Amino acid sequence: MAVYTDIAETDLAAFLKQYDIGELTSYKGIAEGVENSNFLIHTTTGAYFLTLYEKRVNPADLPFFLGLKRHLADRGVRCPVPIERRDGRPTGELAGRPAAIVSFIEGMWPRRPTADHCAAVGAALARMHIAGEGFALRRENALSLAGWQALWPKCRADADGVESGLAAETDADLAFLSSNWPAGLPEGVIHADLFPDNVLFLGREPGLIDFYFACNDFLAYDVAVCLNAWCFERDFSFNLTKGTALLRGYVSVRPLSAAEAEALPVLARGAALRFMLTRLYDWINTPAGSLVVKKDPLEYLRRLRFHRQVRSPAEYGLETAAA
């Protein structure tokens, strides 16, 4: 839940004069997203989505994020399309923050994802990976192995206070991942945060939103993020039916190489560690009384413990060509 910043209606109306989308008729702050302030706006020409970028987003990254959405939308991915400003700049300034307008994507994110949702997301992720080819800008993944190694020392002293034994477990995970992180897998632009609340279904048609962790990394790592985000039940058991559906959807569009398939367990373990660590950091550092709802890092510790025992991509539901 967010909306850190309110906007005066006169300021917004003036801001909209930089665009060719008609006159403002309403705007409502949206209680979703924790990084930025988001508004659903109506104008005389339709519905749009306005984002004020708060301090957790680096303004230098905005051309990447906005350019990527344009690139993907031009190649048929259903995602928000940045609206062109009259002056050609990708963002303006509103309420003292960088601000951008994108098209409003209709659809509902699935609160209780089914195997059908997983299959659709797998296929949509693969289409996004292919559509991302040729995108001219590049952004490193600040939350891959080196990022985790940098983040962990900032959390380690408080870790056992959150869960007894967490420090030692995480030391071991980081050591394992440092030694076993794959190299040479196919790379490209990844979403890196494709959780259910970032996929808006209109019927069976998924739309992808919230590209603010998108970066260049192993494509198969994005698949591993989705296995974590979509295929565990609320009791933290892995749902093999959903895993099978998600992977089948993905490979129906973009087959995984043998090396990618083999790397899935370590990639999934890394992805779980990534979300455990960032949630742990926020858990420790979010002031009491903040309006931000803190997400429990232990949900990802539970996933981590599952991934540690996985020996083969078949355990996630990956079907081999020979089967």
Which residues are near a copy of itself by CB under 8 A?
1-3, 6, 8-10, 12-13, 24-32, 40, 42, 47, 104-112, 200-202, 288-289, 291, 293
What is the CA angle 200-201-205, rounded to 5?
125
Q: What is the C-alpha R_g of the chain?
A: 20
CB atoms closer than 10 angstroms to residue 120: 22
What's the DSSP call for residue 286? Answer: S
Shortest distance in whole angstroms from residue 245 CB to a copy of itself? 18
State which residue, 110 or 297, has the beta carbon closest to a copy of itself.
Answer: 110
State which residue, 108 or 321, has the beta carbon closest to a copy of itself.
Answer: 108
Shortest distance in whole angstroms from residue 196 CB to a copy of itself? 10
State which residue, 136 or 293, has the beta carbon closest to a copy of itself.
Answer: 293
CA distance 185 to 179: 16
What's the DSSP call for residue 277? Answer: H
State which residue, 2 or 99, has the beta carbon closest to a copy of itself.
Answer: 2
* SS3 label, residue 221: helix
State which residue, 150 or 291, has the beta carbon closest to a copy of itself.
Answer: 291
State which residue, 26 or 241, has the beta carbon closest to a copy of itself.
Answer: 26
Shortest distance in whole angstroms from residue 128 CB to a copy of itself? 21
What's the DSSP call for residue 189? Answer: E
* SS3 label, residue 49: strand
- Give the count of alpha carbons within 13 A of 143, CB side only: 22
For residue 221 the two structure tokens come to 């790592």
Shortest distance in whole angstroms from residue 11 CB to a copy of itself? 8
Shortest distance in whole angstroms from residue 115 CB to a copy of itself? 15
Paired with 125 in beta bridges are none
Shortest distance in whole angstroms from residue 111 CB to a copy of itself? 4
User: Residue 244 contacts by C-beta under 8 Å, 6 or more apart in sequence?
Assistant: 115, 317, 318, 319
